[in-house]
Every structure is written in C-alpha cells, then in structure tokens.
Amino acid sequence: MKNKAVIIILFMLFPLIVGLACTCGLLPIGGDKEEEEPAEVTAPTEAIREIEPPAEVLPTEEVVPVEPVQDAELAGGNLSIMKATWKTVEDQVYVGFLLKNQSPDLTLENVDYEIKLLDSSGQEIAQDWNTFPYLFPEQTLGIFYLGYLEEGDPPVYNVDISYGFEGTSAPGEFFNPLSTDKVKYWEGDFWPIVTGLINNADQVTYTNVHANILCYNAAGEIVGGGFTYADFVPAQEQMGFHAFVDTFDLVASVEVFPVLSSSSTEYEDSEEMWGRTAILDDNFYIGGSNQMYGGAVIQNNLTDQTLSNAMVSVTFVDEEGYVTNFGSQYLDFILPGEVIGVAPYISSHISDANPSTYTMFLFPGDVEENYELSNNVFRVNSAVIGSDFDSNVIVNFTNTYSKQVTNVSAFVLLYDASGNILGGGNASYSDPLPAGGTAEVEVFTFYDFESTVSRVDAWVVPNYWTTFE
C-alpha cells in the first residue's frame, strides 16, 4: 500500500486534522482520530482549460513566426515543428513552439532542440537547448523559452530553431504513460500561475517528470509559458503541480505537456517498496494570513537499512478538484528505524483559491548501501523558540559519534496544546563539530503566528554534504 493520505481541509485557524499512516482516508476537521472511507479520485478530463476572456482585449504587437531550420522532410517525415513564434518585450524574448512525432507507430528517441537568438548579422546573442529521451507515437511536446537581453546586447533580429532525434523504436508495451487533468490558469496575486494534475497510467513510479507549459491568446497564438518538474508520480496515481509562467498578452487557454526527462528513473511498484516508510501523523491547514501551514511525522520502517532520496509531496485541491497549492520536501537520508518531522515548503497561496482537501505521498527513495551511520548519533538537548522572533527555534545538539562531523540538517515541528502540528522548518549547520562537541543552530519556522505553540520537537540528521573525519 502506498504511503498516501487524503484529508479534508476546513477554513479554521485551529483545525484538528490527523493523518493516518499508510492509508488513503478522509478525516473531518475537529473530530476524533477515527478512520473513514477512502475518497474517490476525480475522473480525468481534457488538458486544455478555457478561460473567460476579459471584456476588453488590449492590442499587442504582432507575434513573429519562426522559420525552423529542419522541417518534417529533413527529419525523415517523423518529427515536425508547429506554431513556432517569438516576440521581444523590452529586455525579454519569448519563444514558443510545438514539436510533434508524426509517426503513428514509432517512438522517437533522444529528441533534441536548440534555440538561438540572433542579431541582424546572424551572430548568436543567447541560446537554449534540451533533450528528451522519448517522444511517443503522435505525441506533441510544447517548448517555451524566455531569453533575457543584457545591457549592450543588440536587438533580436531572428530566432533559429533546430531539432532532431537519434533513432526510432517500436513502442511495444511501452506507451506514453503521462497525461494531465484539471489544468487551470490563475492570474495570481503577483505573477500568473498554472496548476494541474499529472496522471501516470503505468505500473511503475517515475521520478523527475518534466512538464512544459504553453499559454495561448484568443487567436490560438503562443503568448507565454513555463515549465516545472514533478519529483515523482506514483504508479497509477496523480501528482499535483504549481508553476509560475511568463506571458506578454491576455491568456485564453493553457496546455501542459508532461514528458519523461533525461533524469527520470522508474521504480517497480510493490508493497515492499512502499512499505519501507510510513506517515505517522500529518496536519495542514489555512492560517489567519490565508496561507497554508503544516507538517508531518514520517518513519523509516527498515530497522537495519538507511534510505536515501526520500521525498514528501502534498497536493491541495479545491472542491472541484483543481490544484490550489503544492508542497514538497526532500530527505537526503533516513537512518534505520528513524522517526523525523518535516514541514514541506508550500507554494504561495492564490487569494481566490479555496483548498478543501490535500493528498500526501511519501516516496521511500533508495536503500543506501554501506552508509557510515547505522543509527542517529546527534542528540538533541533542547529546542526552544527564540526570544527575538516567534518564528525562530534554537536547537541545541551534541555529536555523540567518535568522529568529527561537518554539515548536518536540523528539522523542527511545532504543536498546539491538542497535539496538532502547526508547522515547522529546517536549516543546515555547516561548521565542523568534533566528537562529543555541542552546537546550536537557528531554524526559521513557518506556522500561523495567531496560534499558540505548546511543544517544539527537533531532529538533527546527516545530509548529502555530511562528512565524517
């Protein structure tokens, strides 16, 4: 069973949300910690969402079409480019286009593109490129690039786009596993935002899934975009995303293109893999400042093996199933049997969004072979809120190991009088700490300051940069 929790959120300053370990359930706010029936997953819908156009459309400059360097014939008839356009706005250059695999029965491998911004003499001003391992039969991939002109750079006269692929293969049973659901464009308080869900129809979990975003005006022209990553998308599940985008015109619709990246890794879905970790407690809520706060307590269920590259994700959705916020937290190492508290970084709240539920996943990552430590050697002596700011926690800890240690991480969770998680944070301590030495690290925490903190828990753990001497 996947480490997943689905929880109802109510608009209260002091909600009583309690998560279940290794369950998928709905819990009411302010009730007892009792298990209820799992929530149903909303059925997928189309990936492009129309937005009500404003009453008045402001005029803009004409979008310039791009003449691609390589056309479908030069690419063997399998790869083509569409809607290639660019536009300069002050010191920013917007470039967008579509790459499509025209073949109905061949997968293109190592598909690449390169964008060059050129001056009037054909000299390169700036460039961007990327490579994707697969473009499945008839799959379309949207590409967006935002270039910045430095002081003294000449104007962009032309944009050169080259593209190609290294080989083809018959897809067989390896189909395109990724699609999108509930994609939505938000004006945002300070910057436009696109949110949605990435669906994984495969039997394996994928990491580092790339999602390109294109924004269109009412005429169907590309007027902006962006990209984001999903750290992982569990097998036959959904994962939310929240991405800022750049636009130069009024947006009428958006489209998101999830694709496996060069750094994607696949994990066979199994009870054994998901059983390596557990969610012991979790609580997320909307605070008085209309921001999302919270945290979770997780555990390495393996008593003799260290886990690495574990990840926590939290997707918040409204009553219609649209993503409003997204939170994530990396855990470099979780030592054997260790319990640790995390407060994932949560994306800024959209003022006109109303989250009602959240889904939390804990991805166990990898088993780390022959790690230096078999148990946590960092003893936390105290963790108290600092006198200057209510958001700062001072963690005092001792290195009980026989070696000097450099670079460790401190995690903090804050609780109210009822034992509900209010929030937390993490920080690094990078100075060398000799065997038996004691040190203090200041951790900035995020929680609703209108709440009253009754308990502070802290953990000090190794990270990727920890050295033992």
Q: pLDDT tens, 247-281?
A: 999 999 999 999 999 999 999 999 999 999 999 99
Secondary structure (DSSP) of 81-118: EEEEEEEEETTEEEEEEEEEE--SS-EEEEEEEEEEEE
Q: Is 403 within 8 Å of 468 (Cβ atoms)? A: yes
Dist CA 98 CA 79 (whole Å): 10
Read off the tokens for 358.
Answer: 């959240």
Could you say which architecture CATH assigns to the domain 180-266? Sandwich (2.60)
Whether the per-residue pLDDT at 340 is higher than 50: the answer is yes
- The helix (run of H) or strand (run of E) holding residue 273 is helix 271-274
Please check whether residue 458 is in contact with residue 414, taking contact to mean a CB–CB distance below 8 angstroms.
no
- Alpha-carbon dihedral 300, 24, 13, 345, rounded to 10 degrees: 50
- Which CATH code is given to the segment(s) 64-169? 2.60.40.3230
> CB within 8 A of 74, min separation 6: which ones?
none
pLDDT category at 47 given cuts 50, 70, 90 is very low
Question: Are the beta carbons of 359 and 42 closer than 8 angstroms?
Answer: no
The closest of 162, 163, 158 to 66, measured between CA atoms, is: 158
User: Which tokens hold the place of 227?
Assistant: 């990209």
What is the domain partition of the chain in residue ranges?
A: 4-41+269-368, 64-169, 180-266, 378-468
Q: Which two tokens stand for residue 29?
A: 């706010």
- Residue 1 pLDDT grade (very low, low, confident, very high; cuts 50, 70, 90): low
Bridge partners (DSSP) of residue 114 are 129, 162
Q: Are the beta carbons of 242 and 192 closer than 8 angstroms?
A: no
pLDDT interval class at 386 (50, 70, 90): confident
Q: Which amino acid is at 41?
A: V
User: Does residue 400 carry a pLDDT above 50?
Assistant: yes
- pLDDT of 173: 74
- Residue 390 φ then ψ, to 5°: -65, -15
Main-chain phi, psi angles of 205, to 5 degrees: -90, 135
Q: Do the two domains 4-41+269-368 and 180-266 of this chain adopt the same fold?
A: yes
- In whole angstroms, give the CA distance from residue 445 to residue 411: 9
Q: How many CB atoms are located within 10 Å of the residue 110 CB?
A: 14
Q: What is the mean pLDDT of the chain?
A: 85
The residue that leads in pLDDT, 429 or 36, is 429
- Predicted confidence (pLDDT) per residue in 81-140, tens digit: 999 999 999 999 999 999 999 999 999 999 999 999 999 999 999 999 999 999 999 999
Question: Residue 272: helix, strand or coil by DSSP?
Answer: helix
Question: What is the rounded end-to-end Cα distance, in angstroms, of the chain?
Answer: 40
**269 CB-near residues (< 8 Å, 6+ apart):** 203, 204, 205, 234, 235, 236
CATH number belonging to the domain at 378-468, selected among 3.40.5, 1.10.287, 1.10.3470, 2.60.40: 2.60.40
CA dihedral 53, 57, 59, 60 (to 10 degrees): -20
Are 187 and 202 a contacting pair, CB within 8 Å?
Answer: no
pLDDT tens-digit readout, 141-183: 999 999 999 999 999 999 999 999 999 998 787 889 999 999 9
Q: φ and ψ at 142, to 5 degrees?
A: -85, 140
Compute the 3-state secondary structure of the chain and give helix, strand, coil in percent, each to the nearest 5.
0, 55, 45
Block residue for tokens 């889904």: 359
10-44, pLDDT tens digit by residue? 433 333 333 333 333 333 223 333 333 333 333 32
Q: Which two tokens stand for residue 233?
A: 């998308």
- Kindly report the CATH number that applies to the domain delimited by 4-41+269-368: 2.60.40
| Structure-token match 């929530």, residue found | 39
**Residues 6+ positions from 105 with CB-CB distance below 8 Å:** 137, 170, 171
pLDDT of 228 > 90? The answer is: yes
Beta strands of 170-236 (E only): which ranges? 178-186, 193-200, 204-216, 222-233
Least confident of 70-84, 263-277, 383-397, 446-460: 70-84
Q: Give the single-character DSSP code of 313.
A: E
- Cα gap 424→136, rounded to integer Å: 42
